[in-house]
């Protein structure tokens, strides 16, 4: 006569055995090329979701004294393609579109007319280096308010003069340390650092701080294969610190 099996004990034991086997199954999955790409994609997507849920939108980023600044000449340019995409600084405007009451072309003087914020914050590169820089500009939240942006929209999408593109969640955009940056170390941005306008996002990895901005769109939807340059290549989209 076969022994009688308690169904609840069987389920608990099966669950324990499955948890023990999970790392083995996961490792086996990574050994299969088609599964490897899927597993990595799902892992990054989960990480982005969790990071967004845990993001403390009102918590200030760390700031530093002037004595702790990295000298400007030691702040790398580190552009993805070209240190100078040839922006016509005199004719430059930022094209604002999407879910805003005042779309159109915004000049640098219009942006500079908004309250200026200067902060010394850390810039962290995914390549493993970091520096403390001095950044000046306008809070993204102040600019969005001036343009009548719908702050309930989930995303901002940016285009750049060097064909780079980036996007942000609205919570990050509204963070008090997130800047549309037009100065570094008290001087207008030079071309290698993203003149005339870049993002400065001390709550994010450096590749989110796009340079040479030319367009900003407030949107409910990001294009699946055109969300952000590095995210489309498999990096984290949220890229939080």
CA distance 215 to 13: 56
Fold of 63-233: Sulfite Oxidase; Chain A, domain 2 (3.90.420)
What letter does residue 205 receive in the DSSP assignment?
A: B
Which pTM value belongs to this model? 0.80
Mean pLDDT score across all residues of the chain: 85
- Per-residue model confidence (pLDDT) at position 5: 45
Helix, coil or strand: residue 170: helix
Query: Confidence class of residue 179 from pLDDT cuts 50, 70 and 90?
Result: very high
- Per-residue model confidence (pLDDT) at position 79: 80
CA distance 205 to 207: 6
Q: How far is CA 211 from CA 23, 133, 192, 201, 206, in A?
A: 41, 15, 9, 12, 11
CA distance 122 to 209: 12
Kindly tell me if the per-residue pLDDT of 230 is higher than 80: yes
- Per-residue model confidence (pLDDT) at position 58: 74
- Per-residue model confidence (pLDDT) at position 49: 54
Q: State the average pLDDT over residues 18-37.
A: 48
- Give the domain ranges of the chain: 7-50, 63-233
Residue, of 77 and 50, whose pLDDT is higher: 77
Query: Confidence class of residue 52 from pLDDT cuts 50, 70 and 90?
Result: low
How big is the chain by its Cα radius of gyration, in Å?
22
- Per-residue model confidence (pLDDT) at position 48: 52
pLDDT digit string, tens, across residues 78-112: 887 778 999 999 999 999 999 999 999 999 999 99
Strand partners, 226: 223
């Amino acid at each position: 006569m076969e022994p009688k099996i308690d169904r609840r004990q069987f389920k608990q034991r099966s669950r324990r055995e499955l948890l023990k086997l999970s790392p083995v199954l996961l490792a086996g999955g990574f050994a299969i090329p088609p599964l490897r790409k899927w597993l990595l994609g799902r892992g990054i997507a989960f990480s982005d979701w969790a990071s967004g849920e845990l993001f403390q939108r009102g918590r200030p980023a760390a700031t530093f004294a002037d004595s702790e600044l990295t000298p400007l000449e030691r702040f790398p340019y580190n552009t993805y393609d070209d240190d100078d995409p040839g922006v016509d600084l005199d004719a430059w405007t930022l094209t604002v579109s999407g879910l805003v009451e005042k779309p159109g072309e915004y000049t640098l003087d219009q942006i500079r007319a908004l309250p200026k914020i200067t902060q010394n914050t850390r810039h962290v590169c995914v390549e493993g280096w970091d520096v403390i820089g001095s950044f000046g500009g306008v809070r993204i939240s102040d600019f969005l308010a001036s343009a009548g942006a719908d702050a309930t929209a989930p995303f901002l999408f940016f285009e750049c003069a060097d064909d780079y593109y980036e996007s942000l969640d609205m919570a990050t955009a509204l963070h008090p340390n997130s800047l549309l940056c037009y100065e570094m170390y008290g001087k207008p941005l030079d071309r290698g650092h993203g003149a005339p306008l870049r993002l400065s996002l001390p709550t994010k990895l450096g590749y989110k701080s796009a340079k040479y901005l030319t367009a900003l769109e407030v949107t409910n939807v990001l294009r699946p294969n055109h969300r952000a340059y590095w995210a489309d290549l498999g990096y984290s989209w949220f890229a939080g610190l």
